[in-house]
Homo-oligomer: A and B are copies of this chain.
Amino acid sequence: MIPRYSRPELTAIWEPANKFRLWFLIEAHACDAQAKIGVIPEPAAAAVWAHGDKPYDENRIARIDAIERETKHDVIAFTTELAEQVGEDARFVHQGMTSSDVLDTCFNLQLVQATDILLSDLDRVLAALKKRAFEHKSTVTMGRSHGIHAEPVTLGLKLAKHYAEFDRGKARLSAAREEIATCAISGAVGTFANIDPFVEEYVAEKLGLRPEPISTQVIPRDRHAAFFATLGVIASSIENIATEVRHLQRTELREGEEYFSKGQKGSSAMPHKRNPILSENLTGLARIVRSAVTPALENVTLWHERDISHSSVERMIGPDATVTLDFALNRLAGMMEAMVFYPDVMRETVDSLGGLHNSQRVLLALTQAGVSREDAYRLTQKNAMQSWSEGKPLKDLLIDDPDLRAHLSAEEIAGLFDLGYHTKHVDTIFKRVFGEA
């Protein structure tokens, strides 16, 4: 996470003001719960809200930092500052709780906050892809396998493919959000020895979380491993579409270009030098997000009821992976919204091999006209090779070939070169992907 690749909405989640606010909410709701079951006086809980329910501004944060420098314990520094705000009743705060109750629940809350933004980021990406897909539903372009021209598709189909992929990513991220939306207030080793399970249930409900069924001071880290792995898969989908854009913008294709503002310069003198720098950048950002997956997997194993080896990892990958992915998704959405496509160039490319991509269809037509598969193959292949080596349109060669004309009329042959043959099921696919066409 570096400023260059960060949006303030996301970084704010990881800043002290938000962290301390979440700590306060956890502690204050816990006081309410403790009051409800008679462990602490109701007025004390009320006092915590009355005096503590306000933003953590620079002064409060500076005060907490000052105390932490002395006590070397972040949660004690926090409760001490809170006590200064609340007064006498503050002694009921944090009762029966351990630091991890606050820290782990807060970390999950931060991940939930981040995920909610990431989900809306995905919505923006999906909206852009859908809009452009419908815009180019019928824009014919060459389909390529292995980088080699194959058969025509439409640009809309290309975009629909990525839409479907990000839509799956969104579904997975929603599931991952559920994974980490849990709350643990269960004490030093998770036995609730010093605090009633009711407190955990109450706080969880207030904060939109579920109680962690079984915790051991810490919330189990397989949840987080699954979460970061999900971010990694979404990152890979970003690389996938970024790679498509990089290809389309190659000088030799020029079928699409990242939007270039009027004044923007790709190169000092060469006007064609418009580099796909956004998509190249996204390719790198995807690697960064993915790099959180392995440490998150390694974090699952903790010694006995807990060790703290996971903590330093999470202090970094928590912000890094979510902030970077948020930035990348927004960059991607903006890029796709503004992306310039060149349908004419695409069409020229489709035609550039003289209709060779219909050779399979010719073959099929011949067999249906009663020619044996072997003969049909020989007849087609002969003309296709000539078309390829001499650069003549396949259709013309076929029409001029008496052997072939013995089985198919010129009209029939011409009909085999109808582009509609390749696009006839676009609506079907769109309906599958978007629910409409």
A290 at the interface (CB under 8 A from B): yes
A262 at the interface (CB under 8 A from B): no
Would B190 and A157 count as touching, CB distance under 8 A?
yes
Q: Is A375 interfacial (CB 8 A cutoff)?
A: no
Whole-angstrom CA separation of A276 from B304 in the bound complex:
14
Bound-state CA distance A297–B293 (Å) is 10
- Quick check: is A285 within 8 A (CB to CB) of the other chain? yes
The contact size tier of chain A is: 35 or more
CB pair B271–A385 under 8 Å, yes or no, is yes
Q: Using known A-B contacts A146-B275, A226-B230, A236-B222, determine if residue A309 contacts B288 with beta carbons closer than 8 Å.
A: no
Give the distance to chain B from A15, nearest Cβ to Cβ, in Å: 12
A281 beta carbon closer than 8 Å to chain B: yes
Given A153-B191, A197-B428, are A147 and B250 also a contact pair (CB < 8 Å)? yes
A50 at the interface (CB under 8 A from B): no
Within 8 Å by CB of A269, from B285, B302, B362, lies B362
Residue-wise, chain A 164-208 has the 8 Å CB interface mask toward B (1 for contact) of: 110011001001000100000001111111100100000000000
- Asked if A52 is at the interface (CB within 8 A of a chain B CB), the reply is no
Q: Is the CB of B303 within 8 A of A295?
A: no
Task: From A20-28, A102-110, A209-217, A336-344, give the one contacting chain B.
Answer: A209-217
Give a binary string over A382-397; 1 marks a CB under 8 Å from any B CB, 0 the rest.
Answer: 0011001100000000
Does A252 lie at the interface of the complex (its beta carbon under 8 Å from any beta carbon of B)?
A: yes
Chain A 306-349 interface 0/1 with B at a Cβ cutoff of 8 Å (1 = within): 11111111011100100010000000000000000000000001
- Residues 58-69 of A, flagged 1 when their CB comes within 8 A of B and 0 if not, give 000000000000
Given contacts A194-B361, A270-B356, A384-B269, contact A145 B307 (CB under 8 A): yes
